[in-house]
Amino acid sequence: MTQVIARHTALTARDEAWLEHLVDEWHLLADLSFADLILWVPGIDDNIFWAAAQVRPMTGPTALEDDVVGEEITYDAEHLVTEAYLSGEVALASSNGLNAGSPVQVQAIPVLLDGHCVGVVEIHTNQMGVRAPGALEDAYLEAAQVLSGMLHRGEFPTTGERSVPWVSPRAGDGMVRVDQAGLVTFASPNAISAYRRLGLTADLLGEGFAQITSLLVPRKAPVEVSLTAVLQGHGQREVELETDAVQLRLRIIPLATADGPCGVLVMCRDTTDLRNRERQLVTKDATIREIHHRVKNNLQTVAALLRLQARRISSAEARGALDDAMKRVGAIAVVHEILSQAFDTAVKFDDVADRLLHMVGDVAATGGPVQMTRQGTFGYVPADVATSLSLVLTELCQNAVEHGVGTQPGEVVVSPAQCDGQLRVSVSNEGRSLPADFSLSRSRSLGLSIVTTLVADLGGQFSLESADNPQRTIAQVTIPLA
């Protein structure tokens, strides 16, 4: 919708915001009227209208098999959209042959804001799929008629909280109609079942809705707005009712006719299973983070043991090997520490890289000071790639310090970037270049062997080469992130 409005209309930001709010909430009108809705907006040229949004009902068959968003209609004095836009009044056609001759009732409602028309909502009802008349269908259609009038007057959607698609109740979840006196005039079977689970044993029809609901919910800590006020349509639009066994979410929509307020429409949804699954996910999330925390602690213990062992060994070669193993264990521990703080399927690897560069700069420099610099960002890296990548980065930076910079002051630059679903990382340093006969495939370096193996396991590529002017050694790693 945003693209259509930006490309083809001269609507203001306020107009667009109101239409976006309408599209967020108009599923209620579609479900209650058993009809498809299309939002038409006037183009820069007033002779053209553009379809900006479309919604189908969940309570009945669709009247429009094709998606019309992005299509246009030209000026036609007899077209309902044009008639509604020019007159500012609701336009109605008894039937119109659409979709291979299926009779479709069409209605066009102008959307008025500050006295001018910012769009037209076209309502298409498939007459072949009209549900058999009954108390539920009559209540739905009556509520839809009230909402249509509110839409025309600029009173729908109502102000306040917007619905949340994955948790907010819809018409089919349960509907209660409450009159201006606060008495229940209709309750759908699903709504009655939800209230039975909440603890209701008496009849809901004819009862005071706010009073009977408040009696079913145990009192909790003080709140800014009382539950009774919320249920009467004041303040927030959604409320969660909770007992020891059931959770019920209500969405309260104040209704009004041209003569004034006429009660509220209440959508209710039993969210017990949904909340139970959310609690299970939170528990699993906390468990996984605790596992990462314990793994990090164990790895740090291993690194500390290796450090103690290295101090007791007189052989310089053996002590160096233990120091290298200690740094590799420490690199893996850093990843688990980040995951323990904010578990997700991806890791913000800049935090990991900065800690690794600090660690390598502290322990790998045997001569003058070495500056470890990151230029660019790694972005988010999948968690299953982060551990291997941390080892690769540690080995490359350590090799750059020990074999490139050596005992002289110098700088190691790490340059990461993501492009086309791949992560490219280069580690460069000034200093000694590679031997003239160097071959990565024939190298006996354990660190390079680790890097080559890990990059290959990740489906990436690794290269190591020297540049003459200035004299630099550049290690390049490319890893697919998909």
Residue 100, pLDDT above cutoff 70: no
Residues 317-366: tens digit of each pLDDT = 888 788 778 777 877 777 777 766 665 667 888 988 888 888 777 765 55
36-45, 93-102, 112-121, 239-248: least confident range: 93-102
Under a CB-based contact definition with an 8 Å cutoff, are residues 329 and 296 in contact? no
Please report which confidence band the pLDDT of residue 370 belongs to, taking 50, 70 and 90 as the band edges.
Answer: confident
* Domains 2-133+140-153 and 275-480 in one fold: no
Q: Which secondary structure element, helix H or strand E, spans residue 462, and what is its range?
A: strand 461-467
Give the span between the Cα atoms of 422 and 443, in whole angstroms: 27
Highest-pLDDT range among 251-260, 299-308, 404-413: 251-260
Please report which confidence band the pLDDT of residue 278 belongs to, taking 50, 70 and 90 as the band edges.
Answer: confident
DSSP code per residue over 165-196: TTTS--GGG-EEEE-TTSBEEEE-HHHHHHHH
Highest-pLDDT range among 69-83, 221-235, 464-478: 69-83
Give the span between the Cα atoms of 96 and 198, in whole angstroms: 45
Residues 280-317: tens digit of each pLDDT = 777 777 777 777 778 878 878 888 888 888 888 888 88
- The average pLDDT across 117-129 equals 90
**What integer pLDDT is reported at residue 381 of this predicted model?**
87
Give the span between the Cα atoms of 189 and 191, in whole angstroms: 5
Give the span between the Cα atoms of 8 and 22, in whole angstroms: 19
> Rounded to a whole number, what is the largest CA-CA distance in the chain?
98
* Better pLDDT: 307 or 85: 85
Residue 474, pLDDT above cutoff 80: yes
Closest CA to 8 of 40, 54, 56: 40
When computed from its CA atoms, the radius of gyration of the chain, rounded to whole angstroms, is 33
Q: Which two tokens stand for residue 391?
A: 């080892």
Residues 166-215: tens digit of each pLDDT = 889 999 999 999 999 999 999 999 999 999 999 999 899 999 999 999 88
Domain 2-133+140-153: homologous superfamily in CATH: GAF domain (3.30.450.280)
171-270 has CATH 3.30.360.10 classification:
no
Residue 70, pLDDT above cutoff 50: yes
33-37, 397-401, 429-433: least confident range: 429-433
- The average pLDDT across 260-279 equals 88
Q: Which two tokens stand for residue 310?
A: 């290295």
- Characterise 124 by phi-psi region: left (phi > 0), alpha (psi -120 to 50), beta (else): beta
Amino acid at 243: T
Strands (E), 83-191: 91-98, 102-113, 116-126, 175-178, 184-187
Give the span between the Cα atoms of 337 and 339, in whole angstroms: 5
- The average pLDDT across 214-221 equals 75
Give the span between the Cα atoms of 454 and 448, in whole angstroms: 10
**What integer pLDDT is reported at residue 470 of this predicted model?**
62
Q: Which two tokens stand for residue 150?
A: 């509110």
Under a CB-based contact definition with an 8 Å cutoff, are residues 422 and 481 in contact? yes
State which CATH number among 3.40.50.720, 3.40.50.12500, 3.30.565.10, 3.40.720.10 fits the domain covering 275-480: 3.30.565.10
CA atoms lying within 13 Å on the CB side of residue 419: 6
Residue 274, pLDDT above cutoff 90: no
Residues 150-167: tens digit of each pLDDT = 999 999 998 777 888 888
Query: Counting beta carbons within 10 angstroms of the beta carbon of residue 302, is it exposed (0 to 12), middle (13 to 18) or buried (19 or more)?
Result: middle
Chain centroid offset of residue 363 CA: 42
**What integer pLDDT is reported at residue 150 of this predicted model?**
94
**What integer pLDDT is reported at residue 326 of this predicted model?**
79
Give the span between the Cα atoms of 163 and 206, in whole angstroms: 28
DSSP code per residue over 368-419: S-EEEEE-S---EEEHHHHHHHHHHHHHHHHHIIIIIITTS-EEEEEEEEEE
List C-alpha distances in Å: 362 to 107, 316, 368, 440.
74, 19, 11, 27
**What integer pLDDT is reported at residue 21 of this predicted model?**
93
Under a CB-based contact definition with an 8 Å cutoff, are residues 49 and 43 in contact? yes
**Rounded (10°) angle between helices 349-363 and 383-399:** 30
pTM for the whole structure: 0.64
Please report, for the chain, the start and end positions of each structural domain, with discontinuous segments joined by +.
2-133+140-153, 171-270, 275-480
Under a CB-based contact definition with an 8 Å cutoff, are residues 28 and 147 in contact? yes
Residue 77, pLDDT above cutoff 60: yes
- The average pLDDT across 222-241 equals 72
